[in-house]
Homo-oligomer: A and B are copies of this chain.
Amino acid sequence: MNRQQLVSEIKKKRSFLCVGLDTDIRKIPKFLLTMEDPIAEFNKRIIEATHEYCVAYKPNLAFYEAEGVDGMRSLEKTMKAIPSGLFTIADAKRGDIGNTSAMYARAFFEHYNFDSVTVAPYMGSDSVKPFLGFQDKWVIVLALTSNEGAFDFQFVESATGEKLYEKVIRKCNAWGDASQIMYVVGATKAESLKNIRALAPDNFLLVPGVGAQGGSLEDVAKFGMNKDCGLLVNASRSILYASSGEDFADAARSEAKKLRDEMDVLLQTNGL
């Protein structure tokens, strides 16, 4: 999916919601466990219930890998259940030397047919560039993450006063443009969003941390929205596990609709 298509979907659906598919077999409703593929079945029903209110889905690879071969089969089925027109993100946080990153690109862009993959920048240019050679595919680089551990290294400041996450953005902007590169910026670090928006005025930002992790949607829009919206805000647990009963899909739909309605207002406030 290219940038124009993504922006168009956001405007049409009045939503910049990404639903994170962190599907944990230990947390899904018990009645699904007798089915052939409980994880794929759960995801299919979540997708049916929420796709009207979101523009993207983000399977978290760890949750599929934990189930081995069966989990990867669930992931394949999940990808097939996502309607066209929705942006897909492999939340994989890969990052390796060039020939290995090229294999990860093959895995996510070609085998599973994702639109994008999240990448950790620690290993530098070789870990990012191999993902850039694919038409209408995106790399989403970790800049400032939503977790407590973000303070361990991402704020390391060089003698010139540049923080590590700022340097990551500056370097990546030299490797590719805003039609190919997005950044991960945690909603729990909303006060830094203004700074990041100044460094990356055009890039889309993937923002986790709203909901279970405590970030505020209003602050994210206030500091992060640009003329094309430029935001994908992710919610996972607050939607997936809104109910643990047979009504889980309805409860997920209500949560997604609630976030969409808030997003609609925020888009209007910003003239979108």
Instruction: Give A contacts to B, CB under 8 Å.
Output: 22, 24, 60, 62-63, 65-69, 71-73, 76, 93-101, 103-104, 106-107, 110-112, 120-128, 142, 145-154, 156-159, 164, 167-168, 171
* B142 and A122 contact, CB distance less than 8 A: yes
Q: Which residues of B contact A65 (CB under 8 A)?
A: 103-104, 107, 111
* B120 and A148 contact, CB distance less than 8 A: no
| A62-B96, A112-B68 as given contacts; A123 in contact with B104, CB under 8 Å | no
Most buried by B among A71, A99, A121: A99
* A100 and B68 contact, CB distance less than 8 A: no
Besides A62-B96, A122-B142, A156-B156, 12 other CB < 8 A contacts? Answer: A66-B106, A68-B111, A69-B76, A93-B94, A95-B122, A121-B122, A121-B153, A122-B154, A123-B147, A123-B150, A124-B150, A153-B168
CB closest chain-B residue, reference A127: B149
Contact of A72 among B68, B94, B145, B171 (CB under 8 A): B68
* A156 and B154 contact, CB distance less than 8 A: no
Most buried by B among A60, A76, A124: A124
In the complex, what's the smallest C-beta–C-beta distance from A151 to chain B, in angstroms? 7
Most buried by B among A71, A96, A127: A96
CB closest chain-B residue, reference A100: B62
* A107 and B153 contact, CB distance less than 8 A: no
* B73 and A104 contact, CB distance less than 8 A: no
Q: Which residues of B contact A125 (CB under 8 A)?
A: 148-149, 152
* B62 and A94 contact, CB distance less than 8 A: yes
CB closest chain-B residue, reference A150: B124
Q: Which residues of B contact A97 (CB under 8 A)?
A: 145-147, 149
**Complex Cα distance A72/B74, Å?**
13
**Complex Cα distance A128/B72, Å?**
24
Most buried by B among A62, A121, A148: A62
Q: Which residues of B contact A121 (CB under 8 A)?
A: 122, 152-153
**Complex Cα distance A125/B152, Å?**
7
* A95 and B67 contact, CB distance less than 8 A: no
**Complex Cα distance A94/B106, Å?**
18
Contact of A98 among B71, B95, B147 (CB under 8 A): B147
Q: Which residues of B contact A164 (CB under 8 A)?
A: 153, 156, 164
**Complex Cα distance A68/B148, Å?**
33
Q: Which residues of B contact A153 (CB under 8 A)?
A: 121-122, 124, 164, 167-168, 171
In the complex, what's the smallest C-beta–C-beta distance from A147 to chain B, in angstroms? 4
